[in-house]
């Protein structure tokens, strides 16, 4: 975990309200990043509104930079989305436990990546990490759903991952890109022919809930990346807890801190 003031290198507007920020970072930080980990970001202006830092997935990184993709939903994301080149940003991270190591080639397993809305930022970190390490994506499917075409981001880069073997399917609520429907439909469909697959999913809670249901029905393992509200991001406020099945005692439930024990959890454990 590193605590530092970084600087915006680039702020790229992806859609009306989604921005991609590239930030400077030390080598150590970048080496500690893995797909699915996140950072807590805040303004460095000494002002108290917004007060808390906000969590964002580390979407891609190089040796001395990393990128986050920020959708504007409130005051924190709005402030960050306006930071231009040169602005100082307070960073804490990489935090949490990302996706498990998964090498489809060795495992001979299919990997289904399921992204809903901004969940793509987390899921894409897996793909970018593979691309950046020249790792094949053969046997990897990406099911990517959003409200409509204009909410689908990173399409160029995702399509380019074709060359690495990625199979991309998009779906939108209104059918404006790909099929019309919910992203879990795609998963349900493909899972039928490959029940022994690995699944990573990130998206809004209703989507994760239904992914979980699909997995349980297919008796398939998988991982969900949760996005509970966080005050601290490093396990001290107990604000982000999620109820989980208590393995020690099946009759009982326990809570897990999404920030330090997650945000990626085995799908079977999560109780929504």
- Residues forming contacts to ligand FAD in the complex (CB under 6 A) are 38, 50, 54-57, 68-71, 73-78, 118, 121, 227-230, 263
Which of positions 192-251 make contact with ligand FES (CB under 6 A)? 230-233, 235-240
Under the criterion CB under 8 A, does residue 165 sit at the interface with another protein? Answer: no
Residue of the chain from 241, 245, 266, 268 that contacts another protein (CB under 8 A): 241
Q: Which of 216, 231, 198, 233 lies closest to 270, judged by CA?
A: 216
Q: Which two structure tokens, joined as six digits, stand for 50?
A: 């917004």
User: 68 vs 191, which CB is nearer to ligand FAD?
Assistant: 68
Residue 1 contacts which entry, its own copies, ligand FAD, ligand FES, none (Cβ below 5-8 A, type-dependent): none
% helix, strand, coil for the chain, step of 5:
25, 35, 40
Choices 164-172, 181-189, 203-211, 227-235; region in contact with another protein by CB under 8 A:
227-235
What is the CB neighbour count within 10 angstroms for residue 227? Answer: 21
User: 21 vs 186, which CB is nearer to ligand FAD?
Assistant: 21
Q: How far apart are CA 93 and CA 15, in angstroms?
A: 26
Under the criterion CB under 6 A, does residue 51 sit at the interface with ligand FES? Answer: no
Which of positions 30-89 make contact with another protein (CB under 8 A)? 42, 48-53, 76
C-alpha gyration radius of the chain = 18
CB 113 → ligand FAD: shortest distance, Å? 15
What one-character DSSP code corresponds to residue 98?
A: -
Residue of the chain from 31, 157, 236, 272 that contacts another protein (CB under 8 A): 236
Q: In what order do the strands lie in the sheet with 264-266?
A: 179-180, 167-172, 140-146, 111-116, 198-202, 223-225, 264-266
User: 84 vs 219, which CB is nearer to its own copies?
Assistant: 84
User: 90 vs 167, which CB is nearer to ligand FAD?
Assistant: 90
Q: 């209104």: which residue's tokens? A: 174
Q: Which of 204, 57, 36 lies closest to 126, judged by CA?
A: 36
User: 57 vs 233, which CB is nearer to ligand FES?
Assistant: 233
User: 148 vs 272, which CB is nearer to another protein?
Assistant: 272
Residue 49 contacts which entry, ligand FAD, ligand FES, its own copies, none (Cβ below 5-8 A, type-dependent): its own copies
Number of residues written out for the chain: 272
Q: Which of 50, 173, 159, 179 lies closest to 116, judged by CA?
A: 173
- Which backbone phi and psi does 269 adopt, to 5 degrees? -80, -25
CB 56 → ligand FES: shortest distance, Å? 13
- Which backbone phi and psi does 132 adopt, to 5 degrees? -70, -15
Residues that bind ligand FES (CB under 6 A): 230-233, 235-240, 257-259
């Amino acid at each position: 975990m590193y605590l530092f003031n970084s600087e915006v290198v680039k702020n790229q507007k992806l859609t009306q309200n989604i921005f991609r920020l590239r930030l400077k970072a030390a080598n150590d930080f970048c080496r500690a990043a893995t797909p699915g980990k996140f950072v807590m970001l805040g303004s460095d202006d000494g002002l108290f509104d917004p007060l808390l830092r906000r969590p964002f997935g580390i979407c891609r990184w190089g040796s001395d930079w990393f990128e986050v993709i920020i959708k504007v939903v409130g005051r924190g994301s709005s402030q960050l989305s306006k930071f231009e080149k040169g602005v100082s940003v307070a960073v804490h991270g990489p935090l949490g436990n990302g996706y498990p190591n998964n090498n489809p080639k060795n495992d001979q397993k299919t990997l289904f990546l399921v992204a809903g809305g901004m969940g793509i930022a987390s899921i894409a970190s897996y793909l970018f990490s593979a691309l950046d390490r020249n790792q094949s994506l053969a046997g990897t499917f990406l099911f990517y759903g959003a409200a409509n075409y204009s909410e689908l981001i990173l399409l160029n880069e995702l399509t380019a991952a074709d060359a690495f073997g990625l199979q991309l399917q998009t779906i939108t609520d209104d059918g404006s890109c790909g099929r019309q429907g919910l992203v879990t439909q795609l998963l349900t469909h493909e899972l039928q022919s490959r029940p022994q697959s690995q699944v990573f999913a990130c998206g809004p809670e209703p989507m994760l809930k239904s992914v979980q249901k699909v997995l349980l029905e297919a008796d398939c393992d998988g991982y969900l990346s949760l996005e509970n509200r966080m005050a601290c991001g490093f396990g001290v406020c107990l604000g982000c807890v999620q109820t989980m099945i208590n393995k020690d005692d099946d009759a009982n439930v326990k809570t897990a801190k999404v920030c330090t024990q997650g945000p990626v959890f085995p799908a079977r454990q999560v109780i929504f």
